[in-house]
Amino acid sequence: MSENTMEDLSFYFLTWNVVTTQPLANEHLLKLCNTQADFIAVGLQEVKSQPQNLVVDALNEDSWTNALRDTLAPHGFVKIHTIRLVGIILSLFSKREHITSIRNIETSYTRTGLGGLWGNKGAVSIRFNFKGSSICLVNCHLTPHDNMITNRIADYNTIIKSQSFQKEKIHSILDHDMIFWFGDLNFRLDTKPNFTAQQIVDLVSRNNLQSLLQYDELYQVRTNRDAFEDFAECEIKFNPTYKFIPHSTNYDFKRRPAWTDRVLYRTFNNSKSSDHLVKCKSYESYSNVEVSDHKPVSAHFDIQVKGGALPKVEFEAIKSWSVGEVGKIVYRLPNNIPLSSWHWIAFYQENFSSFGEYFYYVWSSQRELPGRPGYYQVNVPENGLRVPGKYHAVFMSDTQPYDMLGISDIFEVQGI
């Protein structure tokens, strides 16, 4: 694969502190997601996380992730992975045509609440390679309240130091080609100007945002290189996203309004020559979404990744068979995908919407077919796929979270 070949992708991010509310209806969620993008990453904070909710979610996934998956699936998206830390959730969705180009998926998390003992505050991350580029996504919920900027800086440094990855030579968040860091960062307006909540709202009502943004704590810590050094942000043209009276568009004067909900990005070499790798298309909040005391924030980027063809497992055309018969699957393993006894073949229905939705699996074969180097055959037992329908066979990687290393064309399992 040539690292000089570059490919264009579109990445869309949504962050929202949902304050334990239930998911929006699918048609309303869809308005918060740009389905023209190649990838959609959604970071939520304060998802309902009482013990009974965590038990149910462990078995069935949380209601927000399910709602997002159901909303995006008709538009060609597949959920790659979700990671949760108490009420902090990060989900990554990809257009179906990209799923076999995603490799070395790995996750991490950091607790920062109660001095690192509790995960009500902290961060979750998903890292992966797309063809020749490494990408890391971080969703966080940092320490709240005015006058707590030192704690937020400490949270950032704790997250950076504590999260490490094993599948790649890239071990830390900041080692990736591209990092997108988003969430309820909780940075407020500096207290030195001593703006009251009423004064802030008055300036916002006159669209005098710059008078406030010059005192934005996140801008200050980036400038002073106390935290988020070398991260960039699209221009803010929307009103403060916190704190609202739920079910309204009115600010709650119990707290000073601030831009707590943000999306930042960074490229590895951080030079001006890398500016073309990430271009901001939009950065906005959704003032008409009223169920929370935070407004959702989205950022849409065009990015450039190192392109070229990845080695993929290729399946021969799979002949249909009937329920109760043995099915035969023949595939070719490329030389640069090493043989492993832990590889497996999963069977997904035609319009699957998540990596976790496979119906059945068999272990890969360890013996080449006679006279056919690199080719292998597995048999699907008579009672393997019991539900008639159209399926894909997918060759899966040997470590969790699993990658899809090859996918077959659709084949049919017929009823008796």
pLDDT digits (tens, 9 = 90+) for 298-343: 999 999 999 888 999 999 999 999 999 999 999 999 999 999 999 9
Q: Take residue 268 and report the two structure tokens written for it.
A: 């590895």
Question: For the chain, what is the total number of helices (H) and then of strands (E)?
Answer: 7, 21
Query: In Å, what is the CA distance from 319 to each residue of 81, 386, 409, 412?
Result: 31, 16, 11, 8
- What is the C-alpha to C-alpha distance for residues 139 and 162, in angstroms, rounded to an integer? 15
* Pairing between β-strand 118-130 and β-strand 368-369 as defined by DSSP bridges: unpaired
CB 100 within 8 A of CB 310: yes
What residue spans define the domains of the chain?
A: 6-306, 314-414
> In which residue are the tokens 């997002």 written?
68
Query: Which pLDDT score, from 0 to 100, does residue 392 have?
Result: 98
The band of 113, judged by pLDDT with boundaries at 50, 70 and 90, is: confident
Spatial separation of the C-alpha atoms in residues 184 and 211, rounded to whole Å: 22
pLDDT of residue 167: 83
Residue 32 burial (CB count, 10 A): 19
Q: What percent of the chain has pLDDT over 90?
A: 88
| Domains 6-306 and 314-414 equal at CATH topology level | no
CA distances from 70 to 17, 22, 24, 25, 80 (A): 20, 15, 12, 10, 14
CB neighbour class for 296 (10 Å; exposed up to 12, middle 13-18, buried from 19): buried
pLDDT tens digits, residue range 7-42?
999 999 999 999 999 999 999 999 999 999 999 999
Instruction: Give residue 119's pLDDT.
Output: 67
CA distance 7 to 385: 38
**Integer Cα distance of 234 and 225 in angstroms:** 18
pLDDT greater than 80 at residue 186: yes
Q: What is the pLDDT of residues 215-267, one digit of tens each?
A: 999 999 999 999 999 999 999 999 999 999 999 999 999 999 999 999 999 99
Residues 6+ apart with CB under 8 A from 411: 317, 318, 319, 320, 390, 391, 392, 393
* pLDDT above 60 (res 178): yes
One-character DSSP codes across 288-317: T--SSSB--EEEEEEEEEE-SPPP--EEPP
Which of these, 394, 395, 409, 388, lies nearest to 321 by C-alpha position?
A: 388
Note the Cα 27 to chain centre separation in Å.
Answer: 21
What 3-state class would DSSP assign to 92? strand
The alpha carbon of 413 is separated from its chain's Cα centroid by a whole number of angstroms, namely: 33
Report d(CA 353, CA 120) in Å as an integer: 29
Higher pLDDT: 50 or 205? It is: 205
Per-residue model confidence (pLDDT) at position 11: 98
Alpha-helical runs (H) found in 214-253: 217-223
pLDDT of residue 4: 65
**Residue 409 pLDDT greater than 90, yes or no:** yes
33, amino acid identity? C
Burial of 43 (0-12, 13-18, 19+ CB in 10 A): buried
Percent residues over pLDDT 70 in the chain? 94
pLDDT > 90? residue 116: no
CATH 1.10.510.10 fits 314-414, yes or no: no
Q: Domain 6-306: what homologous superfamily?
A: Endonuclease/exonuclease/phosphatase (3.60.10.10)
- Integer CA distances (angstroms), 137 to 13, 23, 369, in order: 10, 22, 41
Please write the tens of the pLDDT for every residue from 37-93. 999 999 999 999 765 454 444 545 899 999 999 999 999 999 999 999 999 999 999
Q: If residue 130 lies in a helix (H) or strand (E), which one and from where to where? A: strand 118-130
Residue 404, H or E segment: strand 404-407
- Measured CA to CA in angstroms, residue 382 lies from 269, 320, 328 at distances of 54, 13, 11
C-alpha span between 348 and 313 (Å, rounded): 16
Please report where in the chains the tokens 């704690």 appear, as a residue. Answer: 151
Phi-psi sector, 99: left (phi>0), alpha (psi -120 to 50), beta: alpha
